[in-house]
Each structure stands twice: as structure tokens, then as C-alpha cells.
Structure 1
């Protein structure tokens, strides 16, 4: 089947770079683009005139929240309440449990994947909090998630998250990691089993990857075993590391080495490694405050940094800086890592953070961030057929309306959209030639019903924090409102 989109602006690809095509067309046959240009003279079976829209290559989110949002709770934590967001040591030893049933977890996954689609994401790699699970992510849950993803039509790089330990708050105060090594070994077995499952599906929309959790929650042996399996299977590994000072402290306490040294020591630098955040390296002001070679080490190893500007800033952290990492030769791609999964807001925020850090208005121009959300993500995945609109590429594309008066006047459509718009302006998307987002909705999905069910599950998740808290404080105390409730009896 041959389909054509027409739009006022198309971010086409030519001679290795994106280029802006005005009043353009994109035509694809089955799952492959066959034409990008002003006029296609061949026959088509279906067409959509998108009017005043900006058509981009499908956005690639490599740290995509596939959970109910928790940042809305924990990004406001005061020092007095921060430990209440972790497992207590007693909860780890005696009382850990799944807050949700498998069926409820499937609802959570559907809700999150629908959110990705509504915000113009076409390719994703999932991240979910393990705090409301009895440990990490079981094989069966990812099998079910893969089926939901296939039904919606997104392109997923999937695998169950696994770990050997969990961050805990200590009774006497402070933080540590409590380990259960057998859980880590079982999790890796599930991850290998899912690699096999994804291969058996033989569906181009599902690729198995290895997703160990945060580096401080892994034993050295689990890291080594992960690296070995990745080399044997030529599998991508994504590992949250270099993301915080507490992580660095815990890893040095456990292993006598920095997180980056552990990535090297265990062989993970020799894999197809993605590192979300990548904030805390030698140049960080609370480490050495100068470049002692960490960026060069990451670049030489071919590590991709999954930059999540919006989420990092919400937790009070920044990448120092986008331009410096890019100049060091590091492949930068993007992630959302929280709600909303809005890469447009994230890109805009990243552009302006870079201006402050580097003291230059052109520190990280809009086009560099768009490249990261498309070409950078494709490079991280080893996919030269993603992240671009050109003949021979996969038909993954997304359209955003840019004709709302609230967006202001239009100059350059890319810069104007990043500055004034949001991903909620997505109206249509296609993945492998199949419609996913149609007229701002997901065919076959009752958004109102899904929202109501997700709200009920969020409220249960919120209440469950109190049973994990060292002091067993109620959720109302852990998460106080911005303002007190209105009381008509008080003057």
C-alpha cells in the first residue's frame, strides 16, 4: 500500500543532514519511504493533507517512562522527607510486595505507552520505577508489555529491568544498598529469556535489549555477566550511571572505584552501551571541576549518552554541557524519563540550560537537539534507517500542528515550534508505515476510561509509600499539598 502525506513543512534528509522542505510530500510503500519532495507523480492508495503542520522523523525516546508518573511526588521532596521515598531496611528484609497485580501493571503499561504515542514518540526504550514492585521486572510482564506495544504500533526496544540490590534508607539515617544476589541472577536469566522471546516474535517493532537498573544496585559479577551476554548476543545495554553524587559515593564504597571505572573494569564499555543522564564525570563541580579525560573515555568507547534535560533539571541537575559533550565526540540522544513524555519541551529546556552553562546564546542550537532526538537516537540503536525522512528509510514520521494563534507568529518552523510549542500538538504519526496517532487520538483506545483507571492506580501507589517509609509516615505527610485545604469555618 502506498500512502502520501502533504504538509506545509517537512524536515527531510539529504546528503547526510536534515533539510527543511516547504510545501512538501512524503510517500511510503508498506513500511519504507519511497519519495520525499515537492511532487510525487506516481499512484497512491491513500493520502492525508496535514495543512499547516511540521512533519518530523519519528521521535526516539531512549529513556521513556512506561509507568505512572512518580516525579510529581518525589521531585518536591524536602531533606526531611527524602528518605521516605526509599525502601526502609525493614521493608526490604521482611515486607516487600507488589503494589499492583499483573493485570493492573498491564493497565499501567498501556497508559504509559499511549502517552508516548500521544506525544509523538515512535521509538522508545522503557524505564519504570521498581519501588512499587516486590523486586524488579519479571519476564511475563515484559511479554505482556510487548503485546500492548505491538497493538498500539510503537517501535520498542524492550527487556525486563534487573538488579542485585536496592537503595534503602537506614534506621539510623543515611542511605545504603541492600543486596539479594540471587534476585540479580534470576533477573538476568529473565532478560536472556526475553532476548530469545523477542527473536522468536520476529517482529520489527520489538527488539530485545539488556536493561540492568542503576549501577549502584548491581554486583560486579552481574555487570560482568551482562557485558558477556551483550557481546555474545550483540545486544544493546542501557545502564543508568554517572547520574548522581550519591551513586558515585555508593559505588566507590562498594567497589573502590568510580562508576566509569566500573564500566571499564567489568567490560561494559566494550558493549553497545547507552548511559542515561551521564551528568557526574570528572568535570562536575563537586567531583574535580575539570576535564581529566572522562568525556574522551566515553567517546572512545562509543557510549551514547541519553540526555534527559527536563527530568534532570526537575531534580536540580544539569548536563555540563551539551555542547562540550558533543564536541568531545560523544553521541547524544534524548529521553524523557518522566511525565510528560514531551521531547519538544525537553529540547527547548535543554537549549536554554546550555546558554546559561556555556554563557553563549548559540551554545546548543535547536537543530542540534532535533538531531539528538532523531539521528542521535538512531545512531545509539545502530539504525541508519531511523531518524530521517529519505527514500529507503523506515516510514516512521510524526506531524505537529503549527497553526494555533497561541503559538504566535511563525519564523523558522523548527525554532518557533521548539520555543513556543509542545508535543501535545502532535496530530498524526506512523510507525513502519502503520498509523499510530490519528487526528490526535489512538484508534481503539478509550482515553477517558484509561485516564480514570490510571488515576485510581496512582492513588494506590501514592498510599503505598507510607508502608515502605522508615517512620511509616502517612502519604499525606510525605506528600503535603502546595496550599492547605480551604476551610469555610476559619476567618
Structure 2
């Protein structure tokens, strides 16, 4: 099957970097791109004229939310309410449970994957909160999610998240990590079993990876065993770390070293490692405020930092800085990590945060961020055939409309789109040459029905926070409204 897309603007790949092609075309045969440019030779079986659109390589989200949004709840609380959103120690010891049934979790996963597709993401590695599960992610849940992903046609890097501890709020105040080491060992066993499951599927759109949760919730033993399993199975490891000062304090208290030193000590630094966030290195103003070798160590180890600028900002955190990490030779890729899974908005936020931090307009140009969302993601995955539109690459392609008057006038199509646009302008996408998104819809998915079901599940999740709170406060108190409710008084006059 030979297919051609035509569009006013195409981000082609030429001589080792992206290049803008005006009024061009992309042609693929089955799952591989065969032509980018003008005037392809020979007939095609199907074609689509996308008009005033910007066609990009499929976007790669390596910390993609596959859950119902919780940031809308937990990025606002006052200090008095913040600990109420963690597990209490009592809940951990006596009452932890799954808030959702397996069927409800399957709906949540479908809802989240559909959101990724609607925002132009074609390749993803998932992240979901474990706070409303009895522990982490069960094997069977990831098997079901894999089938949902395959049905939608996304390119997935999957594995059940596992941990040996959980952050808890203490009765006397403060935070700690409570451990259940047997659950951690069982989680790694399930993760390895899932690698076998994916190998048996032999689906080129599904790759098994190892996804331990957060470094402060993993014992040293489990870190070492994860590193050994990764080397034995040649598997990518993604571990959330270097992401906060509380994490740094907890790791130093338990192990006597920094999180980065812990990666080195356990052998994880020598694996194919992805680190979401990577905010707290020696450059962080609350650590040393200067480079003392952390960035060089990460670069030398080939670690990819999964930068999530929009989510970091919503929690009041920033990367110090995109340009400094890039100059140090660290591969930067992107993630969304929350709702909306909109890498376009994330790129725009990142570009402007870098300007503030470095006090110069060119601190992180738009093209550097788009490189991270495409080429950087491909490098992180070890896939030279992703993240680019050139002959021989996989036919992972996405189109965004840029002809709405609300988008403003058009200068450079990439810069204008990142400034004024959103991932919601995605209209069409293909993964390995197969349609995922068509006319802003996903074939076979009832979006309105899915929206209603997800809303009910969100409300169920919201109410469950109160049973985990140290003080058992109701959800209405944990999540106060922005304004009081309007009340109808007696008629006037």
C-alpha cells in the first residue's frame, strides 16, 4: 500500500537534521517512508491533501500519562492540605486497597491512550499514579492495556511499574517511605514476566521495558536486581529520580549518598537509562547552584533526561536549565506526565522558562524543543528510524492544522505553531503507516461516551483521597473550590 500526504509545510529530515519543506509531500509504502519532497515517481494507492497544515514526525512522549488526571487536584493545595494527598501510615499498614476494579482501570487506560492520540503523540512510555492502587501496577492490567494500545495502533514501550516502598505522611507530621520488600520483589518478577509476554507477541509496535517507580521507593537490593535484569534482557530502564528535594533527603537519610550516587552504586547508571525530570543535580540552586560534575556524569553514562516542562512548572519546579544540560552533551527528550498530554504546550512553556532562567531570548530555541520531542525521543529509545521524515524511516507521521484565524498570522510555521498552537490541532496521524487519527477522530472510538465514563471514575478517585488522609478529611475539605458556591436568597422587592 503506497500512500501520499501533501501539505503546505512539512518538517522533513535532510543531512542529519530537520529541514522545512514548503508545499511538499510525504510518501510511504506499507510502514516505511519512501519519499519526502516534490513530485514522487509512480502511482500511489491513496492520497490526502492536508492543505494549510504542518506535518511533523510522530511526537514521542516518554513520560505519558496513562491515567485520569490527578494534577488538577494535587498541584493546588495549601501546606495544611498537602500531606492529606499522601497515603497515611495507618492506610499503608491496615487499609490499602484498589480504588478501581480491573474493568474500571481498563477504561481509564483507554481514556488516557485516546488522549495521547488526539494530541498527536504516536510513541509513548506510560506513567500512572499508584496512589489509588493497593500497591503498584499488576501484570494483568498491563496485558490488558497492551491490547488496547495495539487496537488503537500506537507505538508503545510498556511494563508494569513496581516498587518496594511508598511515600507516607506520618501522624506526627513530615514524610517517610514505608516498605514492603516482598511486594517489590514480586513486582520485578512480574516486570520480567511481562518482557517475556511482549517477546511472544512479536508486535513491532510493542516493546517491553523496566519501569521501577521512584528512586526513594526502591530498595538498594531491588535497584541492583533491576540493573542486572536490564543487562541480561537488554531492556531500557526508566526510573523517576533527581526530581525533588524531598527525594534527595529521603535517599541520603536511608543510603548515605545522593540519588545520582545511588544510581552509580547500584549499577543502574550503566544501563540504558531514562530519567524523567532530572531537576535536582548540583546545578540546582538549593543544592550547590553550580556545576560540580553531575551533568558530565549523566552525559558520560548516556542517560536520557525526560524533560516535562509543563508538569514541572505546575508543581513550581524548573530545569536548571535546558540549554546547560544540552551543552553538557545530555540527550534531552520530552514527556507530558500529566493532563493534557500536549507536547506543543509543553514545548512553549519550556522555551519561555529557559528565557527567564538564563535571562536571554535564545536560551532554548523552539527548534531545540521540537528536536527533543522527535530526535531526542528516538535517541532515548535507540531508534534511528523514528523521529524523522526521510526515506527508510518508519511511517510515523502527524499533521496539525494551522489555518484557524485564532492561530494568528503565520511567520515561521514551527515557531508560530509552538507560540500560538496546541496539540489539539492534530487532525491526522499514522503509526507504521496505519491510520490512528483521521479528521480529528479515532476510528471506532465513541469519544463522548468515553468522556462520560471517565468523569464518573474521576469522581470516584477524588472521593477516595479522604480514606488515605491522616485526618480522614472529606474530599470537599481536601479539594476546596476556587470560589464559594452561588446561593439563591430571597427575592428582592
- Indicate whether the TM-score tops 0.5: yes
Shift of the alpha carbon at 1:261? 0.3
Q: Whole-Å Cα distance in 2 between the matches of residues 349 and 133 of structure 1?
A: 31
- Give the match for residue 444 of structure 1: 444
- What are the within-5 Å matches in structure 2 for residues 282-293 of structure 1? 282-293=282-293
Deviations 1:126-148, CA, capped at 9 Å, x for gaps:
00000000000011000000000
Is the aligned partner of 1:158 residue 2:158?
yes
Aligned residues: 491
- Give the match for residue 462 of structure 1: 462
Partner of 1:207, secondary structure, is: strand
Partner of 2:178, secondary structure, is: strand
- Give the match for residue 173 of structure 1: 173
- Give the match for residue 5 of structure 2: 5
Partner of 1:291, secondary structure, is: coil
Deviations 1:127-171, CA, capped at 9 Å, x for gaps:
000000000001100000000000000000000000000000000
- Give the match for residue 113 of structure 1: 113
Is the aligned partner of 1:372 residue 2:376?
no
Deviations 1:45-102, CA, capped at 9 Å, x for gaps:
1011000000000000000000000000000011000000000000000000000000
Shift of the alpha carbon at 1:283? 1.0
Deviations 1:249-274, CA, capped at 9 Å, x for gaps:
00001100100000000000000000
Q: Whole-Å Cα distance in 2 between the matches of residues 439 and 276 of structure 1?
A: 32
Deviations 1:182-203, CA, capped at 9 Å, x for gaps:
0000000000000000111000
TM-score normalised per structure 1: 1.00
Q: Whole-Å Cα distance in 1 between the matches of residues 77 and 333 of structure 2?
A: 28
Backbone CA RMSD of aligned residues? 0.7
Q: Whole-Å Cα distance in 2 between the matches of residues 301 and 62 of structure 1?
A: 19
- Give the match for residue 297 of structure 1: 297
Q: Whole-Å Cα distance in 2 between the matches of residues 385 and 290 of structure 1?
A: 37
Q: Whole-Å Cα distance in 1 between the matches of residues 44 and 327 of structure 2?
A: 44
Deviations 1:226-255, CA, capped at 9 Å, x for gaps:
000000111000000000000000000110
- Give the match for residue 69 of structure 1: 69
- Give the match for residue 95 of structure 1: 95
- Give the match for residue 264 of structure 1: 264
- What are the within-5 Å matches in structure 2 for residues 16-27 of structure 1? 16-27=16-27
Shift of the alpha carbon at 1:290? 1.1
Gaps of 5+ in 1: none
Q: Which stretches of structure 1, 4 residues or more, deviate above 4 A after TM superposition? A: none
Deviations 1:389-442, CA, capped at 9 Å, x for gaps:
000000001000000000000000000000000000000000000000000000
Gaps of 5+ in 2: none
TM-score normalised per structure 2: 0.99
Partner of 1:241, secondary structure, is: coil
Partner of 2:126, secondary structure, is: strand
Q: Whole-Å Cα distance in 1 between the matches of residues 433 and 45 of structure 2?
A: 13
Q: Whole-Å Cα distance in 2 between the matches of residues 404 and 145 of structure 1?
A: 35
Q: Whole-Å Cα distance in 1 between the matches of residues 403 and 289 of structure 2?
A: 45
- Give the match for residue 55 of structure 2: 55
Partner of 1:231, secondary structure, is: helix
- Give the match for residue 146 of structure 2: 146
Partner of 2:429, secondary structure, is: strand
Shift of the alpha carbon at 1:41? 2.3
Q: Whole-Å Cα distance in 2 between the matches of residues 385 and 97 of structure 1?
A: 42
Shift of the alpha carbon at 1:303? 0.2
Q: Whole-Å Cα distance in 2 between the matches of residues 116 and 483 of structure 1?
A: 31
